[in-house]
Copies of this chain bind each other. A is one copy, B any other.
């Protein structure tokens, strides 16, 4: 009745996962060893260093959380925010809304700064929100909105937070490895990402980094973190290189082999080279889409190279095009999410997916399908 699963391979040009390279899949399937094995402890140390490189940070607390990006988001909120705290949260897409939901489930007060979907977070509105709420403990926003393809000005937003001595909590799920991100230079206090976007690793892991200030705030909490699994004061002792490593849970060993390999590939390419590759292929894609008369949702100045939200042309059947691309070309693009469902396609150029071959194929397949 049941058989081994042998999926037909796909070219993944949606909002993630992106294509995982044979090198990373090879690392993934190496023999499982124990999570307290000295070999594995050495691997964790290297992952930490490679994540510091990818995040552009010296933060000592830089780890790979053993769950997907949504858990990384929740970890940042539940560790740094306590009941009754005020948090300014920016919503310009699905994931800003999810941040608000997390803030409220902690029992904190969310002060919402709202922008139109497809627009970046307004720096002016955030400034006004802090003027009205100078006691806000933190600012939380999404750097690269996966639901719309808009990039916000993380550097300026974090500067405002710093002026008010507030923490900045940044969603970098789609930005890490795909476009400029400088944790230390921009003064980001807590950041989380996902393994399956521009790092092109398998899904299920969330890179997380806390500044010294964030670690201090975690250590001086009044209440226990409401989640035991996500309590980073315990996870810290599990990832720490200093002294005795303290058992917390069993790390997802093979997925960390894969993350290590994908980060190694990023380091070998060079971080800024990877950013440039994403930008170059985005421009090539844009050029081709424009020739097909397909328009972008987001203004040119705020477009993410790795996540291209385009408007479904008038008279074209959204679902039919996506299912034809999948069945005829084994090529996946993403549907619109939330209020953009049926109105946009999301074309991902993330990590290993971002190459000449895939852009050329997508343009040809799309032309064939929508004509």
Contact = CB atoms under 8 A, between A and B. Distances in A.
Interface of A: 2-10, 12, 14, 16-17, 19-20, 23, 25-35, 37, 39-40, 43, 46, 49-50, 66-71, 73-74, 78, 98, 101-102, 105-106, 194, 196, 202-204, 224-230, 247-255, 257-258, 260-261, 264, 267, 326, 332, 337
Contact of A253 (B39, B46, B203, B227): B203
Copies in the complex: 2
Contact of A255 (B34, B74, B252): B252
Contact of A227 (B227, B257, B264, B267): B227
Contact of A66 (B30, B32, B98, B204): B204
A20 B31 CA distance: 7
Given A10-B31, A16-B250, A26-B29, 9 more contacts: A2-B46, A4-B260, A5-B261, A6-B30, A7-B43, A25-B30, A70-B228, A204-B204, A204-B255
A98 B34 contact: no
Contact of A249 (B9, B46, B69): B69
- Interface class of chain A by DSSP: loop
A27 to B, nearest CB: 6
Contacts of A27: 4-5
Contacts of A102: 228
Nearest to A65: B67
B7 A194 contact: no
